[in-house]
Structure 1
Amino acid sequence: MQDHYAKLGVPFDATADLIKAAYRKKVTQYHPDKNPSPDAAVRFREVQEAYETLSDTERRMAYDEHRKRSLIEDPLPVARSISDKYIQDALN
């Protein structure tokens, strides 16, 4: 499961305004027309997907519930995914 909050670089309790501002910053950063990186299009789509989920109140509530349930039911893969993401971001 992808961490939409991490994709946008916001905390889980972020306001709608903070989510929107982070989205605008990230899409500008990863827009394929402005970013020559080969993975820019993939990251751009990931940011769009994260925003679509977190900007819709009902989808965000469902995502948060699933996220909490995943952490409780099977914490090892989730923790590994989060740490891998952290390490990747730290190296980039």
Structure 2
Amino acid sequence: MDVFKIGMLVYSKAGHDAGEAYLICEIEDEYLYLVDGQKKTLDKPKKKKKRHVQRTNSIYDIQTSDDVAIKRVIKEALLGENKEDAYV
């Protein structure tokens, strides 16, 4: 059973982009194709091995999205996480 889903928010654990947030746009065997709406767009997603990302429980509907919508979703998700941390 695969624990990764299209639209899931993930964080890079390895490489020069460690700590960056992405959404999964495609899953292929041991690889994920990741987008952030800025550097990595739907036209040119980042290919990364599953073991090099940290998954979250957040899943978003990105089937009809464009890069601007993806960028907005990631920004709102990151702001939401920071708000939760502020109230702890």
**TM-score for both structures, normalised by structure 2:** 0.34
Structure with higher strand content: 2
Larger radius of gyration: 1
Higher helix share goes to which structure? 1
